[in-house]
Amino acid sequence: MIDDEELNEEGNIQQYTENFSLLTNSKYRDLNKYCAMNDLLKGAYREAAESSYKVAVIEEKHRSGQPYIYDNQKHDAVMICSMLTKDNVNVVSVQKKTKVGADGLFIELMRQFATHIDDNVIVDPKNMRLITGMSNKRWETQMKEKVPLVFRDQCIFHHGQLKKSNLNNIKNGLIIIDEIDSGDRIHQVLQKVLKDGDLLDAEKLKANNNKLVFISATLFEELHELKKWGDLHKNYVMTIPENYIGHQDFLDRGIIKEFYPLNTVEKAEKWIKEDIIDNYCNDYRIHIVRVTKNRNAINEACVKHNVDVREFDFNNPIDLEKLFEEELTRHIVITVKQYLRRANLLENKWKLRIGAVHEYYQPEGKVDFDVQIQGLSGRMNGYWKDIIDSGHKTGPYRMSTEAVRKYEAIYKEPFGNSSYQKANWKKTNDGEAKCNKTKPSLLNPKYVKNIQYNEEGSSSITKQPYRIYDNEDIVKNVFKELNDIQKSKKYTFSKSKFDLNERGFYITSLSRKKDSYAVYKLDDIIKTLDGENNGYNIPKNRRTIPCYKVTTDKSTLRYVVLFHNYTNPDLENIDKKFPQSN
């Protein structure tokens, strides 16, 4: 590893750059086509990563005078690297607070693997990826500007570029996914590229020795799904340094306050007058409010009270750096819609000039806690606690205070007795978590091949969405057992429900189309259920599919029973009582 002391020798920057250029030229890349990361290449890539890192450290010192990577980020990277190399896991989820400093963690983690002293652990930089399901070009641009050059060209991709990430055939790789809870639904691009790279296949993930790191400040649904991955996964909580200030700190100091609707001029005037004019008087500040399509109320209230109002959206971009540096002669209100959400950074020197903040109002019972936490108040979190405590005036930051309390509770105990709600997912006080069945997370084990799990997260029985039986009496007994467990009558069986063709074979359909009825072969049914969508398109009211091992032999009739609530742990008892057929 690099000795930080030697980084002070600024005269070395040219030498480091020359070493890096030499070690990453086409000669080494071409050589890799003929030998699989042999000792020469491992040594070359280790030196290339070290040299590239040294250049980045010195450049950051010249640019800002600040450390390139902070001690807490180095510590966290070492701990995560140890989990992935010594604890025999392939997946680590990283839990953090907003603006705690994930970028430095990414860089240090990539450096740890690219320069690892163990030749069985070291990762070729071309087998590293830093990707996200967010559609955020700015994130990609900023990361490429920040990371050492060795990781820049072929490692970093936001949502719009994911198809170019080339995850196919990666072995001995490290794939970091930032903001894992963004764009992580099934059928979205992130799922497709991960599937194409065999990264959603537990057996191939292990066989190819690939490591996955998921990170977000709001990954609670994902933690509940990853718990079912069993021994394949571990969770890590990032270190929070003393000078960090977050939602709970702002709430305790009275800076975060309850939000309210700004959909009328009267209500908008209340905010303008109380939070801005009366609060800051001639201490002119920049204030931020999130709106929908209708900005009229805010605009009219600002004009009435001589407050400058400016739109900030895709059609009206604002040079924030210029805005936050210019002299203010009156208060300015910036109205935003989609900007200034997760992964967007407001520098400390900008925060000093920000006054009031108001997140878009959501009525009680419909508040998306993730949106609130990742919104405008989340952008105000960061490393300026000492400035706040020294008496600097800021706020109020208006948002759902319930969201803060619920967030802090679930952050401390993701599986505890606290409730939480977000789009497509809800957790109740008794710890039960439910997702929108039509939009589950790609981390749901149902969409990960070769996962063995149960609801407690331990590896035991293979949970499939179906079972195969050769006897109708067994099917009836299975259904009776399920109905007793669920206290319902959802599962019923009657041969009269099935149609026969002219040869006396049962016909069925795997969709709602009447013209798709046919005699199905058992192997084809299994391929559909085990395929890309896990039988996702089969109607949800379908409980049984009759089919045949041999489509010309009636004696090979089999019943495929679909368990739409197949994660129920009582299925283990059903398997013991009613073994599947061959």
- The per-residue pLDDT for 35 is 43
- The per-residue pLDDT for 356 is 97
- The per-residue pLDDT for 439 is 86
CB 543 within 8 A of CB 491: yes
CB 373 within 8 A of CB 342: no
Q: Give the side-chain half-sphere CA count within 13 A for 416.
A: 10
pTM above 0.75, yes or no: no
The residues near 375 (Cβ < 8 Å, ≥ 6 apart) are 290, 340, 341, 359, 360, 399
CB 148 within 8 A of CB 52: yes
Give the number of other Cβ atoms within 10 Å of residue 277's Cβ: 16
Q: What is the 3-state secondary structure (H, E, C) of 282-315?
A: CCCCEEEEECCCCCHHHHHHHHHCCCEEEEECCC
- The per-residue pLDDT for 10 is 46
Give 85: exposed, middle or buried? Use CB within 10 Å, 0-12, 13-18, 19+: middle
Q: How far is CA 468 from CA 330, 480, 518, 579, in A?
A: 73, 16, 19, 9
What is the token pair recorded at 468? Answer: 């195969």
DSSP secondary structure string for all residues of 183-212: S-BTTSHHHHHHHHTTTTBHHHHHHTT-EE
User: Token pair 């652990």 is at which residue?
Assistant: 121
Give 321: exposed, middle or buried? Use CB within 10 Å, 0-12, 13-18, 19+: exposed
ω before 539 within 30° of 0 (cis)? no
Residue length, the chain? 582
- The per-residue pLDDT for 337 is 85
- The per-residue pLDDT for 517 is 85
Q: Consecutive 10-residue runs of the chain (582 residues): their mean pLDDT?
A: 45 48 44 49 79 87 84 94 92 95 94 91 92 90 90 88 91 95 92 94 93 96 93 94 95 97 95 97 95 88 94 74 88 88 78 96 93 94 95 97 96 92 91 84 91 54 67 89 73 81 89 77 84 58 87 94 63 81 77
DSSP secondary structure string for all residues of 219-235: -HHHHHHHGGGGGGEEE
What is the token pair recorded at 47? Answer: 């030196």
CB 211 within 8 A of CB 172: no
DSSP secondary structure string for all residues of 322-347: HHHHSPPSS-EEEEESSSS-TT----
CB 208 within 8 A of CB 467: no
